[in-house]
Chain A
Amino acid sequence: MTNPQNASRPPSSPRVGLFVTCLVDAMRPSVGFATLKLLRDAGCRVEVPDAQTCCGQPAFNSGDTADAAVLARHFIETFEGYDYVVAPSGSCVGMTRAHYAEALADDPAWAERARRLGERTYELMSFLVDVMHFAPADVKLDTSFTYHDSCSGLRELGVHDQPRALLDKVSGLTLKPLEGNDVCCGFGGTFCVKYPAISNAVVGEKADAIDRSGASLLLGGDLGCLMNMAGKLKRKGSSVRSFHAAEVLAGMAGGPAIGEER
């Protein structure tokens, strides 16, 4: 979603609080470092507040609104001081932008703080394109990729064109369209472990579509979905390798893909 004030000219060296997300912190730090590099290349002063933890989505989606509100307040306190907050995940940003006010509905003052912070909180790809008008320079990767649009980013934040525009600037990289690119991969946070058989059936179809695309890489903007799809691709013996789009854009896709030995 474009912030109209910033649509014309990028702000000069804004102070950005990077929320790496709990999954990236624990599972795949390289996505965090790629994000850091991209934000710095785009001219931001980036800080990684030490107090950050989890956005509270697991509690919120489980119906545990009170616990979600605790973590929402913690997030707001941690990040309120920055010009912008950026995370390499549509679903965590969707949580803060679209749902914090709901989680804090009983507390109007906090709900208002949530709303104000939400306006300055961005998913990485949309921040780079819509706010910073950034394009990666001198990144080269000779291969083909297909792109999965994760649901929260796509439907709650309107992230669709931005990652494609950015990846288009990587020389040597070609897009092979994914049939059903906007269809859910079956991850759904806690859904995938609460209803594993259903989740498996959904991601099974997704993995087949990814294979049919003929691409060498699967890219996306949400680590949860990527781990789900990469895990299924691995299990079915597919040779498609999975990366977060930020890793490719930062020129950091030389190492092991998701689920490869490191």
Chain B
Amino acid sequence: MQEATLSFKARAQEALADPTLKIAIDRTTGTAERKRAVAMTQFPQFEAARERGKRIKDHVIANLDHYLLEFERNAIASGAKVHWARTAEEASQIVVRLCKEAGAKRVTRVKSMLGEEIGLPHALDEAGIERVETDLAEHIVQLGGDRPSHIVWPSMHRTREQVSEMFKRLHRAPHQEETIEAMVDSARRELRDKFLTADVAISGANFLVADTGATCTVTNEGNAELTTTPPRVHIVTAGIEKLVPSTEHALLLLRLLVRSATGADVTQYTTFHCGPKQTGDRDGPEEFHIVLVDNGRTRMLREGMKDMLRCIRCGACMNHCVVFRQLGGHVYGGTYPGPMGAVLTPVFDGLESSRDLPHACTMNGKCQEVCPVAIPLPTLLRGWRDRSWREGLEPATVRFGLGIHTFVASRPRLYRLGTAIAIRVMRLFSRGGLVKGMPGLGAWTAYREFPAPAKRTFMEMYKDQEKGQ
């Protein structure tokens, strides 16, 4: 992908220069923000629910081994086969192997960010297995040959006008009318027969219910039911942090998830899967596999990032992030964008290649404020900055500059002198109240004026006043 070869800043420049992208971002995130705000006014228990949600997740994460084993036991009892994957690669290999063993030519997928995280679309394509994305937005991403740009609305980066044009070009029987309904119908015509003739269905899970061994998947389009029912084999991939003790806990988190994600009261469709088809069942898969994925999660637990494992992937942090709303998701370069992506991508891809992500944040704290499980995202981002500093990844100029600053700022007299000289130099470049063309200020003055300092510092003037009294 082209994005990967460009630097973060170059990708950001491209995104900032794309006015259509900005329209697309504003439509989706703006709507999400407004709807969430309305939902919150009708959900006065939010704070209490958030505290409970946080406690549930923290409890499970602190007792992960217990709940994993309980889940495995109950899933196996229900007839499911449970697989364990340590890395992304292992996980996608397991899924590809299961598909091959099932003799699959065509698989249907229900949107799952974990699937993206483990590189599943690519692995299936490589293995020559036809992959049909059944989620409308993922279908758009697949048609466009790109990657999801948002964890809830993967095709957020395209306006509906662009999607319409693409459907007309690529669908067999495209829509005639320019309405959303007609476009959805066009996608339906394109996909429906593929739903019914797939050999394997692959989905993710929003929750893994330990005491029943069931998996729970939430969709807006009901494609989870339709996708996972007809094929002979159903494979669920899920991160190990998706565990909850019981269905009741899943439902509480679900309330937080939907309100935070879409501002709705309930998800359109919530599907529980528990094992394969049993005798007497009218439908369901003959084989039901669950692939439990670690991929850095136990390392996060060890390395002081356990708070991040609470994440329920609602997307609220990105919808409310001033940086995300200027750039969209692709600029982040990883599977997950926005604030939560800036925390997670260095875990998956390494800090060296992603050190811009934790830095490209104003630390305004809005993401933490809206997060339904109170993840201290700014603190986690600063944790990466701290690590980047300790590992020597920060540029020499910054290290040198801050070193000097500290040396001077811990010596008040020197500091006074330095400040007094600095403002006098600035005033040499000042015209009409603004500093113009001063070397070193270019990053600021390229875009906005730099207000000129006063003639003397506060401390100089204050001392004179004191003497005068």
Contacts and interface: CB of A to CB of B under 8 A. Distances in A.
Interface of A: 20, 22, 24-30, 32-33, 36, 48, 50-54, 56, 58-65, 67, 70-71, 74, 102, 151-152, 155-156, 182-184, 186-189, 191-203, 227-228, 230-232, 234-235, 256, 258-262
Interface in B87-129: none
B386 A232 contact: no
Interface of B: 9, 12-13, 16, 322-323, 326-327, 359-366, 368-369, 379, 382, 384-390, 394, 398-399, 402-403, 405-406, 408-410, 412, 415, 419, 422-423, 432-434, 443-444, 446-459, 461-463
Contacts of A70: 406, 410
| Closest A-B pairs by Cβ, 4 of them | A188-B362, A63-B385, A231-B448, A184-B364
Nearest to A50: B412
B458 A29 contact: yes
A155 B370 CA distance: 11
Contacts of A194: 359-360, 443
A16 to B, nearest CB: 15
A155 B12 contact: no
23 contacts: A26-B422, A26-B457, A29-B454, A48-B462, A53-B415, A56-B406, A59-B406, A62-B394, A62-B398, A63-B386, A63-B389, A63-B390, A152-B363, A186-B322, A191-B363, A194-B443, A195-B9, A198-B16, A202-B326, A203-B447, A231-B450, A235-B448, A235-B449
Contacts of A32: 458, 462
Contact of B366 (A30, A151, A156, A199): A151
B95 to A, nearest CB: 37
Nearest to B395: A194
Nearest to A206: B322
Given A67-B402, A198-B323, A61 B450 contact: no
Given A53-B409, A195-B12, A197-B12, A25 B459 contact: yes
B433 A191 contact: no
A127 to B, nearest CB: 19
A160 to B, nearest CB: 13
Contact of B446 (A28, A52, A196): A196
Contact of B451 (A27, A30, A186, A193): A27
A54 B409 contact: yes
Contacts of A29: 454, 456-458, 461-462
Contact of A188 (B364, B390, B410): B364
B363 A259 contact: no
